[in-house]
Amino acid sequence: MRARETAFEPPGAGGRAIMVQYMEWLKAFLFGIVEGITEWLPISSTGHMILVDEFIKLNVSKTFLNMFLVVIQLGAILAVCVLFFHELNPFSPSKGKGGRRDTWKLWGKIVLGCIPAAAVGLPLNDWMEDHFYNAPVVAVALIVYGIAFIVIETRRARMRETVDVLPGGRPAGAHFAAPAAGEDDGGDFGSIATLDDLSWKTALGIGLFQVLSLVPGTSRSGSTIIGGLLLGCTRAVASKFTFFLAIPVMFGASALKLVKFFLKGGTFGASEAAILGVGCVVAFVVSLVAIKWLMGFVKRHDFKVFGVYRIVLGIIVLAYFLVAVPMLGL
């Protein structure tokens, strides 16, 4: 009778292998949390991912990691599709002919707003990553746009004190940002108080601001929200349109990254697939909470707190990578 051959396995080796796998899933879980929060808040997901990657190293190839950090966005963007499914669904049976027409018009504005990012981003994306994906650039972008948020919101607050507000929240005779709601609106104001008020020209203008997010650390949501505020949107409208612009942009970016990954000979097995799956699922769940929280927050508060946070984070990034790392030889 032929003896069954078995490979020698040191005592406890199987258990250690399982623990190592669990640790990788835990790391992916943490990446998913960071992605789900920072993708939607105007604080730069890239800046946070750089910091997370510095302290939490996934045991994967560099090629897979670069793909993972982009494709994990699929979980985040799926949250937008779920939360705003009715508003974005032109085939909803509860919508009449006018409602379906307005939804198609909204999708047209979303596509129009994505054209500048696609036109500039597709040919320059790899070059931008090679030359600008580093700590100093991310830190400077964090600080610059943090200051921009504070300056813009300070100006809006001053304007609110001097501009007459019509019933319904629109400013009398103004096209720039002015009050958009009643006395308990928390200071949110703008001549574009609903998505229906958003013109094709404004949608394209916000899309042009989205191009700025090609610079790491800028924040896609941050650049488009700033664009929306400057073009007259309320904080709520600027935030919601930013979410909608992300759908084609992030789906496209993730698909492009996957295609490039496989064209370059990249492969991944069950372990890597599990890591990617955990990251996406966690990013989806956390994004549901983050988006709902932000939409409630902007109705009562301005973006100054995010500006301050960006400045502090930028200073921390600069101090760590330009001072601590060389000094400590990390």
194: tokens are 């609903």
Q: Is residue 218 classed as helix, strand or coil in its secondary structure?
A: coil
Distance CA 22, CA 309 (A): 32
Length of the chain: 330
Task: Decide: 242 and 117 in contact? Cβ < 8 Å.
Answer: no
d(CA 152, CA 146): 10
- For 272, residues 6+ apart whose C-beta sits below 8 A from its C-beta are 60, 64
The tokens 């600069």 sit on which residue? 318
Whole-number Cα distances in Å, 225 to 3, 37, 175, 231, 233: 69, 16, 17, 10, 9
| Domain extent listing, the chain | 20-328
CA distances from 130 to 73, 126, 223, 310 (A): 20, 6, 21, 23
Q: What is the pLDDT along the chain (330 residues), one digit of tens a residue?
A: 444 444 455 555 667 778 888 899 999 999 999 999 999 999 988 778 878 888 888 999 989 998 999 999 999 999 999 999 999 999 999 999 999 999 999 999 999 999 999 999 888 877 887 888 888 899 999 999 999 999 999 988 888 777 655 444 555 444 444 444 444 455 677 889 999 999 999 999 999 999 999 888 899 999 999 999 999 999 999 999 999 999 999 999 899 999 999 998 888 888 999 999 999 999 999 999 999 999 999 988 999 999 999 999 999 989 988 888 888 776
Burial group, residue 96, by CB count within 10 angstroms (0-12, 13-18, 19+): exposed
Q: What is the pTM of this model?
A: 0.85
Q: Tokens in use for 83?
A: 């939360």
Q: H helices then E strands: how many in the chain? A: 13, 0
